[in-house]
Structure 1
Amino acid sequence: MTPPSLHIAVVGGGIGGLAAALAVARAGHRVTLVERATRFGEIGAGLQLAPNASLALEELGVLDAVQRSAVAPPRLVMMDALSGEQITALDLRGSTYRDRFEHPYLVTHRTDLHGALLAACEAHPSIGLRTGHTVTDAVQTPSEVHLCFAETSERLSADAVVAADGLHSRLRRLLVDDGDPVCSRYVAFRGALPVSSMTGAMSRHASSESVIVWAGPRMHLVQYPVRRGELYNQVAVFESDHYVPGSDDWGTEAELEERFAGACRAVRDALPLVARDRRWPLFDRLPVTDWVHGRIVLLGDAAHPMLQYLAQGACQALEDAVALGRALGEHADPRDAFSSYAGPRSERTAEIQTGARRFGEICHLDGMGAVMRNQLLSTRTPDDFDDIAWVWTPAPAPASSATR
């Protein structure tokens, strides 16, 4: 029996919020999405979409649109940032990969993924989109939630609310008393440049279409092409020695140059081409299980912000959205749906949050630790996915789940 249609408000117009709105609408409900910015958009550069994310995009009906601009890299390669030697690589197009995961590993520009989700939401008749609405409070009654906004005295009433408002979620504070996000003391400089402007070794790297991770002591560099191979995405990450809580005077360009000074020639040559217009301090939180507060539920970074070392931030938000849509398609009471969604999802994302921290430590080893890492990983064959398969393989959907 199909549950009656509900009115669900989604707070946040990023990748997680748009995906949630689309999943909920496809489950047969009416959605109003509110975004505090005056126009929809994403900042940043590239992101990786492992097969669990591709599966989620397929279930949301947007995989084909995303693939029109995304790149399917042939390999995922880890290099030693000091010696320039290859440590290990995984074959992302071979039969072993295809048989095990079925869905492609993609890399895309963040704005391209966001644009595909936004277009799908704009086209769906059950989704309303409102910009310029900053949520300041959520008042619950036994039967609904009233959202209050900074820009207007008008309230938005809905049967339930999905908080997808990111790392610094205002609505999370109503549910979880765990203070501010945790700064890792690492910072990223990132951006994408036209491949046509690249020469020499950089051009050869781009033409390979592989995802390359140069791992070094307390730093790393990630490279891969996006947007049909027209742009080359680069992310330089390093730990700052000058971090001070509450200060913005750390993780500077001078520190970037200093931290990468001992890197191999290929990394040093790439560094001047890394965008410097903005620095991105890297935050996460310890896992929590209390995502639900009556008729309000958390999703994406509002629920489980994670460090980027497993490249799963956007992937897990997409998984969240699909799971939430399924739950709201099976339960008449949104509170029951939220509990059904949050239980399994909080367990899985907790493992990935802590796994991302561990992988970051492995990536940034120095001295004998790095030597042992390289020796161990060098024995892995290109079709050995055993250590990452648990991340790339989401839990199967219940047999009764279906979307419309």
Structure 2
Amino acid sequence: MSNSRQPLLVVGGGIGGLASALALSQRGREVHVFEQAAEFKEIGAGIQLGPNAFYTFDELGVTEAVNELAAFPDDIIAMDAVSGERVVHLPVSELFPRRFGKPYGLIHRADLHRVLLDACRETGRVHLHAATQIVGFGDNRGSVRVTTASGEAYEGDGLIGADGLWSTVRESIVGDGKPRVSGHIAYRAVLRTEDVPLENRLNAMVLWMGPKYHLVHYPLRGGKLFNLVAVFHSDRYEDGWDTYGDPEELHLRFQGAHPHVLNMLAKIESWRMWVLCDREPVNHWSQGRTTLLGDAAHPMLQYLAQGACMAMEDAVCLAKRVAAQPDDLPRAFLEYQQARYLRTTRVQLTARLYGHAYHAAGATRDLRNAFLKSRTIEQTADSMAWMYDRKEIPQ
């Protein structure tokens, strides 16, 4: 590596930003990560980890650390939230390693973030700047320069915007304004396992699909906790990801649900709420020495549980392209974009489609249930291969 090479600058210290810093540092690059929050930490609760995530963990060298903190369910189960009918049953603890070569896991978002943060610190090449808001940035042809709210300036070879759904870096490249509001609200909470009703205390990722709502619950931290996410249609809108939800509205939206759903919801006294948003897919998120990653590039609804997975895939792909073109970052960034955008576009659009399927009513609900029940386990697994197979992940 040339001694004159400048560091790479990452805006955003979430899962995507840290994964990109880690992947780049492992290939010999110095990286500065800027996080506007007072400390590097994650909000939220559970994350589902498909097999593609575990291939990425191998690339990042964190598989063992993740495995120590993750829960590994026996099954994925989809239920009709009105009738209580089981619609899908996938024995993933056996099926996914055989079909995809990797497991399916569940992890607390804060735990995954901490794994990546610790790994970044261990490299000695990642410089972490908390409480640092980036208020300006520019491409100076041979380098990029960012300025902070406190008046400091940093120069680097390239800039990576990993600053999420409301990315300011994206606005300078794409210029598409505010995110698209889906009309769906998510309430999330965490229960101690001993507080979960016995009928729901399963080592499984369980999805209850209802008319204009659904509930997901699954174990975390080796089965010590249960993650709950309740989603429903609403015209309510508040900026941010961590406001308090209204239990009265939640129970109103879930009226008529199966007792197993209502009993689970009744266990929660305080919910945190966020509004589900995404953006239209784009094929241009790199410009000169600046590029985007994760939700800044391709924010998606949560219905495929692939947001964090796609950000980490981005990180590994980006680092490989930078390593292959270390002296031509604009070209490396464009090659990364071209390698990734069709896959992430498919995930964005399919996630929207799944949202409609989860919340179907009437004849559409009947068709959904009949179609899903008609497929064999192997056919269902085959339908997931585009997301989970190793060969489908751009390198």
TM-score range, shorter chain: over 0.9
Deviation at 1:93, TM superposition (A): 2.0
Deviation at 1:395, TM superposition (A): 4.5
Checking the alignment, whether the CA contact within 8 Å between 1:243 and 1:251 is kept in structure 2 is no
Equivalent residue, structure 1, for 2:384: 388
SS in 1 for 2:230: strand
Equivalent residue, structure 1, for 2:276: 282
Aligned mates of 2:196, 2:392 — CA distance in 1: 43
- The superposition leaves residues 226-282 of structure 1 with CA deviations (integer Å, 9 ceiling, x where unpaired) of 111100001000001x44698999984332111101100000001123463421110
Checking the alignment, whether the CA contact within 8 Å between 1:189 and 1:275 is kept in structure 2 is no
Aligned mates of 2:269, 2:303 — CA distance in 1: 20
Name whichever structure is richer in helix by fraction. Answer: 2
Cα separation, partners in 2 of 1:368 and 1:102, compared to 1, 3 Å = same
Equivalent residue, structure 2, for 1:129: 128
Aligned mates of 1:128, 1:59 — CA distance in 2: 21
Aligned mates of 1:247, 1:327 — CA distance in 2: 33
SS in 1 for 2:152: coil
Checking the alignment, whether the CA contact within 8 Å between 1:90 and 1:383 is kept in structure 2 is no
The one-letter code of the counterpart of 1:19 is A
Deviation at 1:381, TM superposition (A): 2.2
**Structure 2 residue 39 is matched with structure 1 residue 39:** yes
The one-letter code of the counterpart of 1:344 is A
Checking the alignment, whether the CA contact within 8 Å between 2:212 and 2:232 is kept in structure 1 is yes
Deviation at 1:196, TM superposition (A): 2.5
Aligned mates of 1:12, 1:41 — CA distance in 2: 11
What aligned pairs does 1:212-361 form with structure 2 within 5 A after superposition? 212-240=206-234, 242-243=235-236, 252-274=246-268, 276-332=270-326, 333-361=328-356
Equivalent residue, structure 2, for 1:81: 81
- The superposition leaves residues 207-243 of structure 1 with CA deviations (integer Å, 9 ceiling, x where unpaired) of x311000001110000100111100001000001x44
Equivalent residue, structure 1, for 2:58: 58
- The superposition leaves residues 149-191 of structure 1 with CA deviations (integer Å, 9 ceiling, x where unpaired) of 11x2110110101100011011111001211001111101102
Checking the alignment, whether the CA contact within 8 Å between 2:31 and 2:127 is kept in structure 1 is yes
Equivalent residue, structure 2, for 1:11: 11
Deviation at 1:388, TM superposition (A): 1.6
Equivalent residue, structure 1, for 2:176: 178
Aligned mates of 2:361, 2:151 — CA distance in 1: 56
Quick one: percent identity of the two aligned structures?
Answer: 40
SS in 2 for 1:378: helix
Aligned mates of 1:276, 1:284 — CA distance in 2: 26
Cα separation, partners in 2 of 1:330 and 1:192, compared to 1, 3 Å = same
Deviation at 1:382, TM superposition (A): 2.6
Equivalent residue, structure 2, for 1:366: 361
Cα separation, partners in 2 of 1:370 and 1:133, compared to 1, 3 Å = same
| TM-score, structure 1 normalization | 0.92
Aligned mates of 1:395, 1:27 — CA distance in 2: 22
**How many residues align structurally?**
391
SS in 2 for 1:93: helix
Aligned mates of 1:395, 1:356 — CA distance in 2: 21
Aligned mates of 2:136, 2:330 — CA distance in 1: 19
SS in 2 for 1:361: helix
| TM-score, structure 2 normalization | 0.94
What aligned pairs does 1:24-35 form with structure 2 within 5 A after superposition? 24-35=24-35
Checking the alignment, whether the CA contact within 8 Å between 2:88 and 2:373 is kept in structure 1 is yes
Checking the alignment, whether the CA contact within 8 Å between 1:308 and 1:356 is kept in structure 2 is yes
Unaligned runs of 5+ in 2: none
Checking the alignment, whether the CA contact within 8 Å between 2:180 and 2:277 is kept in structure 1 is yes
Deviation at 1:199, TM superposition (A): 4.2
SS in 2 for 1:68: helix
Cα separation, partners in 2 of 1:192 and 1:331, compared to 1, 3 Å = same
Aligned mates of 2:238, 2:106 — CA distance in 1: 33
What aligned pairs does 1:188-207 form with structure 2 within 5 A after superposition? 188-201=186-199, 205-206=200-201
Equivalent residue, structure 1, for 2:145: 146
Aligned mates of 2:108, 2:240 — CA distance in 1: 30
SS in 1 for 2:382: coil
Checking the alignment, whether the CA contact within 8 Å between 2:298 and 2:345 is kept in structure 1 is yes
Aligned mates of 1:29, 1:351 — CA distance in 2: 31
Cα separation, partners in 2 of 1:397 and 1:383, compared to 1, 3 Å = closer
